A = this chain, B = another copy of it.
Amino acid sequence: MSRSKTTEKNPIPSVWTREQRRPDQPALSRDAIVREAIAMLDADGIEALSMRKLGARLNAGATSLYRHVATKDELMELAVDEVAAEIHVPPAGGPDWRAAVTEAAGSFRTTALRHPWLTLVLGQAGLAYLGPNYMTFSERLAALFTAAGFPEPSRAIDAVFSYVIGMSTTEAAWLTTVARSGETEPEFVARLLPTAREVSAGYDHLAAADARTADQAVDPARIRDDKFTYGLEVVLDGLALRLPE
């Protein structure tokens, strides 16, 4: 790993022995920093990202990043907004608003599961006054629910997406735990099952729930999918009752 730094520790530093600065490498830019930060966050989780490691991956010193980003928190906000662009919201005015909302909700969920640190940062930052991508996401949602006929679209949006955020947060935390174990999800579930039964043995209804669900050996990811769409249908049914006419 031969890093090409400006001032390499040479015996006799001089203009002639000094290496040319970064001959081909793309220059350090805000976009490159954010992109690489997201890659590190996705790969190794939120606590693995440090300014020094990020700088090293960009063939740069840690403090160089501060020329393009005011603080680490700001970098996280930029990362969140960058990732928010991946959420797809169908155009408003389609014939089937439920299908459109289901699509948007599912897109949010898959994005949150692809970047399991997203919900953590959202929980800290509070998603107030966020970046342009998040704004257009909100705008499209507002358009969608308005076109669907809701008199107070923001209330409906909050209802649906509080549910979506809550479920996604829980799932992302679970997937993070699974990933840290180094096993696949089915392996992890299988290894955890006996102790889970043991713990819930002292609680009647939890044990009953265990007996009801944990037997069938289906893919845990499938179970999570079903659980998500079930709850989403519940919320959408509740909203449909409030749609005028």
Contacts and interface: CB of A to CB of B under 8 A. Distances in A.
Contacts of A209: 142, 153-154
A26 interface: no
A170 interface: yes
Contacts of A129: 192, 195-196, 199
A128 interface: yes
A46 to B, nearest CB: 9
A126 B176 contact: yes
A205 interface: yes
A48 interface: no
Contacts of A28: none
Nearest to A209: B154
A241 B237 contact: yes
B234 A242 contact: yes
Contact of A177 (B128, B154, B169): B128
Interface stretch (A10-18, A30-38, A156-164): A156-164
Given A169-B169, A234-B235, 11 more contacts: A123-B172, A135-B200, A139-B205, A152-B212, A153-B209, A154-B212, A158-B167, A159-B235, A164-B166, A166-B167, A237-B238
